[in-house]
């Protein structure tokens, strides 16, 4: 999964179902409702990393449903999920 960092994309708020557990992958998004209303089932989490904005941390998840790649962000202060990128899975 290769994401283009300089691609302009409007962050949109989304509803995400995630599993929380102990261990290395303690938060894993499993599905989300796309802004167009379609339910997207996550088939793979490609990468997770924190991004620090001053004192705020955003948790970045690069995921795919097998056909399209997405970047989901969890704001650790507000606990709101955002879709910040999507593109074809080639």
> Would you write out the chain's pLDDT as a tens digit for each of its 90 residues?
455 554 557 899 999 999 988 877 689 999 999 999 999 999 999 999 999 988 899 999 999 999 999 999 999 999 999 999 999 876
pLDDT for 7: 52
Q: What is the pLDDT of residue 12?
A: 95
> Is residue 77 in a domain?
yes
Question: Does 38 reside within a domain?
Answer: yes
Indicate whether 65 belongs to any domain. yes
Within-domain flag for 44:
yes
Closest CA relative to residue 85, chosen from 63, 56, 59, 65: 63
Name the residue range of residue 83's domain.
13-88
Query: Is 19 within a domain?
Result: yes
Q: Which of 57, 59, 40, 41 is nearest to 49 (CA)?
A: 59
Q: What angle do CA 1, 17, 45 make, to 5 degrees?
A: 20
Handedness of CA 82, 48, 59, 31 (dihedral sign): positive
Q: What is the total count of domains within the chain?
A: 1
Instruction: Output the pLDDT for position 21.
Output: 83
């Amino acid at each position: 999964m290769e994401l283009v960092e300089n691609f302009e994309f409007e962050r949109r708020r989304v509803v995400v179902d995630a599993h929380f557990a102990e261990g290395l992958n303690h938060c894993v998004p499993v599905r989300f409702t796309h802004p167009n209303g379609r339910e997207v089932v996550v088939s793979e989490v490609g990468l997770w990393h924190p991004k620090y904005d001053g004192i705020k941390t955003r948790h970045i998840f690069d995921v795919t449903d097998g056909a399209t790649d997405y970047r989901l962000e969890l704001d650790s202060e507000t606990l709101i999920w955002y879709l910040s990128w999507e593109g074809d899975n080639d």
